[in-house]
Amino acid sequence: MAILEVKNVSYYYQDGDQKRMILEDVNVEFERGHFYTIIGESGSGKTTFLSLLGALDKPKSGEILFNGEDIYKDIEKYRQKDVGFVFQSYNLIPYMTAFENIKLALDIAHNKKDINVKGILEVVGIDKDKANRVITKLSGGEQQRVAIARAIAKNPTVLLADEPTGNLDIDTSDFIVKIFNMLSHKLNLCVIMVTHNLEIAKRSDIIYRVDQRKRNLVLSHV
């Protein structure tokens, strides 16, 4: 059963008087326990699509349903509990430590459970010493691991990742893809990753391609 349903979604940028259509009448479904990748050329709208899934932006028409409910109905609750987001540029708060960044996400989600933040950090390869460093003292790869830890700490149903390996070396990229596979297959998450790296995409379960001409998602590989 689909956890995330995209129904007739269209999106355009307003450029003066003109509309620049990015996505037109997109219909697609995502299920738990699968690792999806979305590929496409630069500017094709794949990141825009991911932003819509993460409720960072709103479609001009159509709807996106999570568990059958409009994600914009209670946007904060959706962002707090149901979806985790990993950005290409990590987007961690620079004056906080790795530990505090994750704690912030849990505080915002009002997560009262006794979650072992340092344990989660260790899972993504951040030891206790690094966990207590401020973000600016960590490498890019380490920051991305912290970002993933932050996204999964609150135990979301959907994990969205926007070019998470874009700035990383091969080993780290490989590690992150392994984590995403583990999250989807062992923890039953719905992982959706945007990438332009076809090799990485091939390691996912399902690949969608953004067809720039059709302005739509096309199933590319299962």
Token pair, residue 122, equals 């260790």
Among 12, 35, 66, 85, binds another protein (CB under 8 A): 85
Kind of pairing, strands 206-211 and 216-221? antiparallel
Stretch that binds another protein, among 60-68, 88-96, 181-189, 199-207 (CB under 8 A): 88-96
Closer residue to another protein, CB minimum distance, 25 or 76: 76
User: Is 10 among the residues that bind another protein (CB under 8 A)?
Assistant: no
Q: Does 19 bind another protein (CB under 8 A)?
A: no
Give least dist CB 177 to another protein, A: 20
Residues 140-159 that bind another protein (CB under 8 A): 150
Closest CA to 135 of 94, 168, 166, 74: 94
What letter does residue 160 receive in the DSSP assignment?
E
Q: Which tokens sit at 126?
A: 């951040």
Which residues, in sequence order, are CB contacts of 100 under 8 Å at separation 6+? Answer: 93
Using rule CB under 8 A, residue 89 touches another protein: yes
Q: How far apart are CA 66 and CA 72, in angstroms?
A: 10
Which of 79, 130, 145, 215 touches another protein by CB under 8 A?
79
> What CA–CA distance (Å, rounded) separates 16 from 91?
30
Contact residues for another protein, defined by CB under 8 A? 22, 42-48, 51, 54, 56-57, 75-81, 85, 87-89, 91-96, 100, 104-105, 107-109, 134, 150, 162-163
